[in-house]
Amino acid sequence: MSISGIILAIVVLGFLIFFHELGHFCVARVFGMGVKTFSLGFGPRLVGIKRGKTEYQIAAVPLGGYVSLVGQDPGEELPEGFTSKEEFSTRPTWQRFLVILAGPVFNALLAWFIYWGMFVANGQIILMPVAGAVQTGSPAAQAGVMPDDRFLSINGVAINTWGDIPDLVQTGGGAPLTVVLERQAKEITLTIKPLQQPGKSIFGEDITRWVIGVEYSGAYEQIPLGFFASASTGFVECANTTKLIVQSLVKLAQGAVPLDSVGGPISIVKLVSDQAAHGLSRVLMLAAFISVNLFLLNLLVDLGGYCVDSLGQIFHRFLDLL
């Protein structure tokens, strides 16, 4: 990892954490709750400035951050300059819930904004359904598929992107496929009988799948998108990323994905540093992916902690009534 890559990674992580804490801060202030400290980073304070009653600071350890609310812990001594009306613990349950929820939601919004901006700037990349190398002796080779053939349909279903091909092959369950190709401006209809072979899922699991033996050619098309089309496409991309991460978490819980495959801050720094070598777009796409991760993980941790604390308070009140 280069020094510049490490610095860029710290900046990216710092911004993602800042945006998360900004969510807590903004909603707390909307409800008039007191904020003692808004810190980017943990540990000793490096620099800071006080505005109103709040101390804004940068701390020594950049991989983290926090917003310290007045009265966040029941029975906490009221800091100088704040009133009891500003305490977090005395607010209605729904207000405290929204303050905690705001951090993860801001991360989800940030991911959407990044995807949105990327689609506005670069349009949408479509992987064209054009055959590259055809494996010798494969079902496709035996049927007569040739490099540069464009797939038009499989079993009557139109093919728009390369990703449609493996999906339709799997859906067929090994039955012969009626495939329509375009070759030199002419349509050709072939019948291909898929072959089952072992492979790996995107999560590293051993699976068996149906294949026809055609590799992707690398052809793609860049389609410009307008402002609002980019917004909707960015939302879909954000939803797809969320779905993929949820599936990964489920696989992790099931033991299908080894725990040592989960990276920490150092792994993230390395990923950002590596992507920096390929340009700003790759870094931004990775930042959006990490932001969705932060959304889901903090949603589980923050809301889980809130529910535990709430149940604890209810239990103590119940004991007081006895």
Question: Does 38 score more than 90 pLDDT?
Answer: yes
Tell me whether residue 245 is exposed, middle or buried, using C-beta atoms within 10 angstroms of its C-beta: 0 to 12, 13 to 18, 19 or more: middle
63-67, 144-148, 160-164: least confident range: 63-67
For 26, the token pair is 């903004």
- At position 99, the amino acid (one-letter code) is V
Q: Which residue has the higher pLDDT, 90 or 118?
A: 118
Bin 57: left if φ > 0, else alpha if -120 < ψ < 50, else beta.
Answer: beta
**pLDDT for position 259:** 54
Q: How far apart are CA 66 and CA 233, in angstroms?
A: 32
Name which of 119, 141, 123 is nearest 132 in CA terms.
141
| N- to C-terminal Cα separation, the chain | 61
Query: Residues near 176 by Cβ (< 8 Å), separated by ≥ 6?
Result: 191, 192, 193
E strand or H helix at 303, and its extent? helix 280-321
**Average pLDDT value for residue range 297-311:** 69
Q: What is the pLDDT of residue 320?
A: 54
Which of 236, 256, 237, 238 lies closest to 247 in space, CA to CA?
Answer: 256
Question: Could you tell me which of 100, 108, 113, 114 has the C-alpha nearest to residue 25?
Answer: 100
Backbone angles phi, psi at 257, to 5 degrees: -110, 125
User: Could you tell me what percent of the chain has a pLDDT over 90?
Assistant: 49
Question: What pLDDT shows up at residue 253?
Answer: 72
Q: What is the pLDDT averaged over residues 187-215?
A: 86
Q: What is the pLDDT of residue 215?
A: 93
Using an 8 Å Cβ cutoff, are 107 and 17 in contact?
no
What's the whole-number mean pLDDT along residues 172-180? 92
Q: Which residue has the higher pLDDT, 5 or 116?
A: 116
Q: What is the mean pLDDT of residues 33-38?
A: 92
pLDDT digits (tens, 9 = 90+) for 218-275: 899 989 999 999 999 999 999 999 998 888 877 777 665 555 555 555 566 666 666 6
Is the pTM higher than 0.85? no
How far from 187 is each of 72, 138, 182, 183, 190, CA to CA, in Å?
69, 21, 5, 6, 10
Q: Residue 64 above 70 pLDDT?
A: yes
Measured distance CA(21)–CA(33) in Å, rounded: 15
Active site (catalytic) residues? 21
Cβ pair 118, 111 in contact under 8 A? no
Q: What is the DSSP string of 140-161?
A: HHHHT--TT-EEEEETTEE--S
